[in-house]
Amino acid sequence: MSNTVNKNQSNLDAALFRLNLDRSSHMSLQAQLISALRTLLNETQAPSGLRLPSSRVLSLELSVSRTTVVGAYDQLISEGYLHTKMGGGTYVADQIPHLAPPVRTSNDRPEPLQAWVPFQSGIPDQSLFPHRLWSRHIEKAWAKPDSALLGKPDPFGWYPLRQAISNHLSAWRELDCRPEQVLVTSGASEAFEIIFRGVHRSDAHAAIEDPGWHTLRHVLGSLGAQVQPIRIDEHGFDADKITGAASVAIVTPSRHYPTGISMPMPRRTALLAWAARANALIIEDDYDSEFRYQGHPLPSLAGLDGLKRSIYLGSFSKLLSPALRLGYLVLPDALISSAQDYLAQFGSRASLVPQPALATFMESGEFAVHLRRMRRTYARRQAHLIAELQESASLINVAPDPSGMHICASLLPSLRHHATDKLISNTAREKGLHVKALSSHCILPDPPQGLVLGYAAFDEMIISTAAHKLNQLLTELAKANGSNARG
């Protein structure tokens, strides 16, 4: 076999290895596999004659029945994508025009990966991350791994990491919980999947904040949950607005996303009282609560509740790196058994590789040092951004935020009468700025108008340049649209 054929076969095998089926999808596994294979054969431009894995091998790799793979192969054979040979084996078919590679011109080159764009929110400055220290923890964990790391993994996650998370929450959030209540996840999407498929009804009605995390309604919809958006006010989420059959409330009380409002104590106690009356569940997403620059945070809902009707949700993507893909849930004791049963059946998607390193990184105190350093840096950058935007003080309301990684600047009447936040967002994109419109986070009509401006990932020089562009843009829009209105 020639080197070219070997390379093509290797590329096809690698692409097949990356196939992933979504067991939460309404589409059957066989239909997903047919679609995935069809797309793979088109996109990889696999030459004819390359051999696919046997149905037995592929079924083992994908953790599906052999019948599912055989059915998918049969369908693609009937469509002309594959064929079989005497003596067995399934191969890429000959003479399929739509599989021919496109002619590449000299200018047809892949575009380089783009760096973060100024004002993009929710992104930590990864240049601050202590990579050398982290690499030592990784090497220490896996150069001579603990025997438990090589055995069957605990679906709730590496126990020392769960212990470290428990200690961290006790020290930083005054949330007393045991390691047995901590469940390590691959992020928010898996966390909600475990909650709505494992410990709560998947068809539940969930009251959510509006504006809020714009992806949440899509995540909940894919899980079969019904969404009831609640428009927040100057005090955040109001439990008195919950109506109907809602059995779950999903809130960001420490720092509402994206406005930055902190839910006051009366609202917190009212929400807990609603949960008790309605026999409901509260999911507390403690979004970037570690980055507080002024004052002391109010107690978490889970802490006030004693983890009876509240689930606490946290993430390391904002604290360390989105590439880690690690988050966690803190569950009431009554829900632990249900979560264990669910994960015993479907498994966890959280990678075990970084977990022992993260555990020792936290236990050593280096994690706390890192957070304090980031907090000082982000506080300085927020102050710098606010100072740079004072030129637009007559157009947008820019005020210091006691916490977080972004500010939400509301549009003042002098600008709001001439431009919407979505128009500003679209125009800013043309100038190389990532300015998110507050209204894009809303479901309900008559959304508030504002601009979500991230600053954490950008140094002062970048912030100054970006703020200058934004100031000019806002002034131009106000003047241009004002002139059009007069004309």
pLDDT for 310-336, tens place per residue?
999 999 988 888 888 899 999 999 999
Selection from 124, 122, 112, 120 nearest residue 463 by Cα: 120
Residue 464: pLDDT band with limits 50, 70, 90: very high
Q: Which of 49, 59, 53 is nearest to 6 (CA)?
A: 49
The pLDDT tens digits for 145-197 are 998 899 999 999 999 999 999 999 998 888 999 999 999 999 999 999 999 99
Give the pLDDT score at 105: 45
Of 250 and 44, the one with more pLDDT: 250
Share of the chain above pLDDT 70, in %: 91
The strand pair at 281-285 and 310-315 is best described as parallel
Q: Hey, what long-range contacts does 381-385 have (CB within 8 A, 24 or more apart)?
A: 381/455, 381/456, 381/458, 381/459, 381/460, 381/463, 382/293, 382/407, 382/455, 384/455, 384/460, 384/463, 384/464, 385/453, 385/455, 385/463, 385/467
Average pLDDT, integer, range 43-53? 76
Residue with more model confidence, 120 or 56? 120
Tens digit of each residue's pLDDT (9 = 90 or more) over 209-253? 999 998 999 999 999 999 999 999 999 999 999 988 899 999 999
Beta-carbon count within 10 A of 228 CB: 19
What rounded mean pLDDT belongs to the chain?
A: 88
State the Cα–Cα distance between residues 330 and 243, nearest whole angstrom: 27
CA distances from 413 to 235, 390, 393, 416, 478 (A): 22, 16, 12, 5, 10
The amino acid that residue 305 corresponds to is D
Integer CA distances (angstroms), 434 to 368, 421, 431, 443, in order: 30, 12, 9, 21
pLDDT range class, residue 102, cuts 50, 70, 90: very low
486 has a pLDDT exceeding 50: no
Model confidence, pTM = 0.76
Q: Which residue has the tokens 């498994």?
A: 347
Out of 14-18, 60-64, 100-104, least confident range:
100-104
Between 4-8, 106-110, 178-182, 326-330, the lowest mean confidence (pLDDT) is in: 106-110
Neighbours of 255 (CB within 10 A): 25
pLDDT score at 173: 86
User: What's the pLDDT score for residue 46?
Assistant: 66
pLDDT of 44 reads 63
Please say if the pLDDT value at position 110 is more than 60.
no
- The C-alpha atoms of residue 84 and residue 122 are separated, in whole angstroms, by 50
Q: Is the pLDDT of residue 100 over 60?
A: no
* pLDDT score at 58: 86
Distance CA 376, CA 195 (A): 35
C-alpha to C-alpha distance for 194 and 327, rounded to whole angstroms? 13
Could you tell me which of 252, 258, 199, 251 has the C-alpha nearest to residue 223?
Answer: 199
CA distances to 41, 117, 431 from 110, in Å: 20, 19, 22
Is the model's pLDDT at 483 over the cut of 60? no
Average pLDDT over residues 381-400: 96
Asked if 304 and 269 count as a contact pair (C-beta separation under 8 A), the reply is yes
d(CA 248, CA 200): 9
Integer CA distances (angstroms), 184 to 158, 192, 312, 352, 356, in order: 8, 13, 12, 10, 12
φ/ψ (deg, to 5) at 418: -120, -20
